[in-house]
Amino acid sequence: MKAIIKHSLTVISLMGLLWCSWGCRTVDPISTHRVSMDYINRVPTEKIPFNSTKRTKFLALNFSFDNNNCILPDRMYNDIQLTQYTHAGNNIDQAPCIYRKFAIPGSSDVLLVVSFGGITEWRTDILCIITASGYVLDTLEAEVFTNEMTVKQFRINAQNEIIISRIVPVSSSPVLFYSYFTEFMGYREDITYSINTSGKFVKKAEKRYRQKRYFKKDLENSDINIWDGGEFIPPPESFNSPPER
C-alpha cells in the first residue's frame, strides 16, 4: 500500500511540474526525460526568415545535444523514398549536434535544429520544440542528405511558418542513394507547418507539384536547392490534411 501511495504521489508531483513549467500552461512533452540546457542556452539565436540552403554552414562551435534517451528520431536513410534506414543510436560518428536555434514568438519555448550524422556521409536534421526547463514537446524531420544528395530541406518564413520541401520518386522500387542511377521521375512536395500555443507542429497546407525528371547531378549541386527546381505549375489540389509523422 505504501508503495502504491508513493508511486501516486510521484505521478502527481510530475504532473504538477509539467503543468507549471510554462506559466501554468498544460505541457504535453513527448518524454518525461529532460534534456540538458547547458549547451542549448549558449547557442546563438538565429533570425527569421531563414533558408536552410545546401551551402548553409554549421555553427562555428560544436554544441552537442543529449539524445541518450532517444527522445529525438535518429533515422539515417538509405533510399530517396525515405523508407529504408538505420538508426544513429550510440554511434559516436553520427552523434547529434545543434545546428540552429530560433525563438518562438510569444513563448519561452525555443525551436532547435538538431543534426544527426556527424562526420559520416549521412545527415538527418530534426526540428524540435523545447521548453525553458528542457522538456521536448514535439519533433519534425526537416532535412535529409546522403552520399552528397539532398532530398529534403526546410525554410522558416517571416510568419514563423516552417516549409518542408522534399523530392519524392514515383517508383515503387526504392531508389538507393548508393546505387547507380542518373535520373528518376518524381515530384516536389511542400508541407507548411505552424507552431501552436501548446508547442506542437500543426500541418497547415500541402502542395504536390507536377511530376518531372530529377537528375542526380542536380541533387548533388550545392547551388541548386529543392525549391529552385523550376516546378512552376502545381496540380489543382492544394489541400489541408491531418499531420503525417
Residues whose CB falls within 8 Å of the CB of residue 143, separated by 6 or more in sequence, listed in order? 52, 115, 123, 124, 125, 150, 152, 153, 154
Residues whose CB falls within 8 Å of the CB of residue 43, separated by 6 or more in sequence, listed in order? 59, 63, 98, 100, 101, 112
pLDDT at 25: 59
Grid coordinates given for 85: 534506414
Residue matched to cell numbers 548553409:
56
CB atoms near residue 33 (< 10 Å) = 14
Instruction: Name the pTM for this structure.
Output: 0.84
* Tens place of pLDDT per residue across the chain (245 aa): 444 433 433 333 333 434 334 344 566 888 888 888 888 999 999 999 999 999 999 887 778 887 877 889 999 999 999 999 999 988 889 999 999 999 999 999 999 999 999 989 999 999 999 999 999 999 999 999 999 999 999 999 999 999 999 999 999 999 999 999 999 999 999 999 999 999 999 999 999 999 999 999 999 999 999 999 887 655 555 544 444 44
Pair 122, 146: CB distance under 8 Å: yes
Render 137-197 in DSSP notation, one character per residue.
Answer: EEEEEEEEEETTEEEEEEEE-TTS-EEEEEEEE--SS--BTTS--SEEEEEEEEEEEEE-T
